[in-house]
Structure 1
């Protein structure tokens, strides 16, 4: 069996984190999301894998070339939609095949449920169905797909994972796969709805925290680098090579820390935290329920809770993220979600900065003692 992974899109609702990298390459528990999809396929014995790339394709291709998996890459020249991306892979398809988004988590059991089916889709229950294609099902057969409705008729959504026969390409008349499915249904073709075992998508930046928490459950314990004898670690903790953990630091897993980091002394890292490569946590800093990407520096006496920090942020001492809930307009829609902060790449913050339920764009600069709330555009100076 073959599989086509669609990894050409940007993930615009995840900005600012996707300004410089595609959504499929965002690190969750210190691994790009697309790796979890590939792993699930390999666990099912599916090794004939085609990946469709487009937006910032060079980064995806470089990463795929480092993996120990036989992956064929094709390019979607313009990001016009999922069906257009699938058409880019048509010349590589010779058998029944799966289609999967490269930017969602899916487990191997879910793929096992659908891989033997012909013309089927994986579905899941979701508390916010209006962010997805909502599926109306009768007796296990898909009757209708309603894309991102304001008033969803059910809580059942499409995961974007399908099992097709090659003749599906004759139904790709628009640029979106759900339109092809609607055409197939109208012509009398039966599309089976298969419930997923475990599936998660990150629609908005703060959703990465839930996905990070989920994936940290899968990490393997490993203590490498130089860990001081006074360090206390409990639960599942993974520490990369070249990392130093200073005296009197406490780490409560699940936590993963990358390579060549400098942690502590006297820091506390609480559960559901992932820390990328080359990160510096200065003394007396507390981090919990956060995703910190590579090459970030967090100054001393900081308190970081429910935060996503993009690569290369430099935050001075006494930085605080304050989780709260407020209304944010993202992608033209009003959203309300409780989290501390989402910072794009290269954010600079002076001492005593507080980020409160905010999204700060790439290369934002914040002056000393400021409280930052709401959405701050790329390159803004908060003085």
Structure 2
């Protein structure tokens, strides 16, 4: 069996994090999301894999070149939709195949459930069905797919994972795969609905925190760096090569720390935290339930909770993220969600900065002693 991974899209609702990389390459538990998809396929013995790239394609191609798996790459020249992306891979398809989004987590058991079905879709229950294609099912057969309805008739949604025969291609007349499925249903073709075992998507930036917590449950302990004898570790902790952990630092897993980091001394890292490569945590800093990407520096006496920091942020001493809930306009939706902060790449903050339930764009500069709330556009200066 073959598999087509769709990794051409930007993931615009995850901005500012996807300005510099596609959603499929966002790191969760220090691994790009697409890596979990490829692993699930390999665990099922599926090694004939086609990846469709497009937006910021060089990031995906660079990553795929490092893999041992024999992956074919095709390019969607313009990001017109999922059906258009699948058409880009048509010349590589010679047998029954799976289609999977490269920016959702899926486990191997879910793929095992659908791989032997012909013309089927993987479905799951979701508390916010209006963000997805809502699926109406009768006796295990898909009757209707309603894309992102305001009033969803059910909590069952499409995961975007399908099992197809090559007969699907004549139905790809528009730019979206659900339209092709609707055309197949209208013509009398049967599409089976298969419940997923474990699937998770990150629609908005703060959703990455829940996905990160989920993926950290699967890490294995490893100490590849140098940990001071007075440091305390509890639970599952993974530390990369070249990282130093200073005296009196306390780490409660699950936690993963990348390579060549400088942690502490006298820092505290609490569960559900992922820290990328070449990160500096200065003394007396506290991290909990957060994603800290590569090349971030966080000054001393800082408290970072429920935050996502993009690459290359430099935050001075006494930086605080303050989790709270407030209404926020994202795209065409007004949402209320509790989290601390989401920072894009290259944010610079002076001492005594407080981030409170905010999304801060790439390259933003913040002067000393400011409290940042709401949405801050790329390149802004907070004075």
2:319 and 2:231 map into 1 onto residues whose CA distance is 24
1:66 partner SS: coil
Residues 1:79 and 2:88 aligned together: no
* 1:252-331 equivalences in 2 (<5 Å): 252-331=252-331
- 1:125 is the counterpart of 2:120: no
Alignment-derived partner of residue 168 in structure 1: 168
Q: Secondary structure at the match of 2:215?
A: helix
- Asked if 1:147 is matched to 2:147, the reply is yes
Deviating above 6 A after TM superposition, structure 1's stretches of 4 or more consecutive aligned residues are none
- Which residue matches 1:219? 219
Q: What do residues 10-63 of structure 1 show as CA deviations (whole Å, max 9, x unaligned)?
A: 000000000000000000000000000000000000000000000010111010
Q: How many residues align?
A: 383
Q: TM-score, normalised by structure 1?
A: 1.00
For 2:198 and 2:107, how far apart are their aligned partners in 1?
Answer: 6
Q: Deviations over 1:277-333 (max 9, x none)?
A: 000000000000000000000000000000000000000000000000000111110
Q: Does 1:6 align with 2:6?
A: yes
Partner-residue secondary structure (3-state), 1:135: strand
> Residues of 2 paired with 1:213 and 1:296: CA distance?
20
3-state secondary structure, aligned to 2:65: helix
Superposed displacement of residue 175, structure 1: 0.3
CA distance in 1, matches of 2:135, 2:374: 33
Mapped partners of 1:193, 1:208: distance in 2 = 27
Other-structure match for 2:29: 29
Aligned to 1:246: 246
C-alpha RMSD over aligned residues: 0.3
- Residues in 2 aligned to 1:302 and 1:318: alpha-carbon distance in whole angstroms: 4
Cα separation, 2, equivalents of 1:149 and 1:311:
35
C-alpha separation in 2, matches of 1:139 and 1:368: 61
1:136 aligned residue = 136
| TM-aligned CA deviation for residue 102 of structure 1 | 0.2
Normalising by structure 2, what TM-score?
1.00
* 2:148 pairs with 1:181: no
Structure 2 unaligned residues grouped into runs of 5+: none
CA distance in 2: counterparts of 1:272 and 1:68, whole angstroms? 29
Displacement of 1:141: 0.4
**Structure 1 runs not aligned, ≥5 long:** none
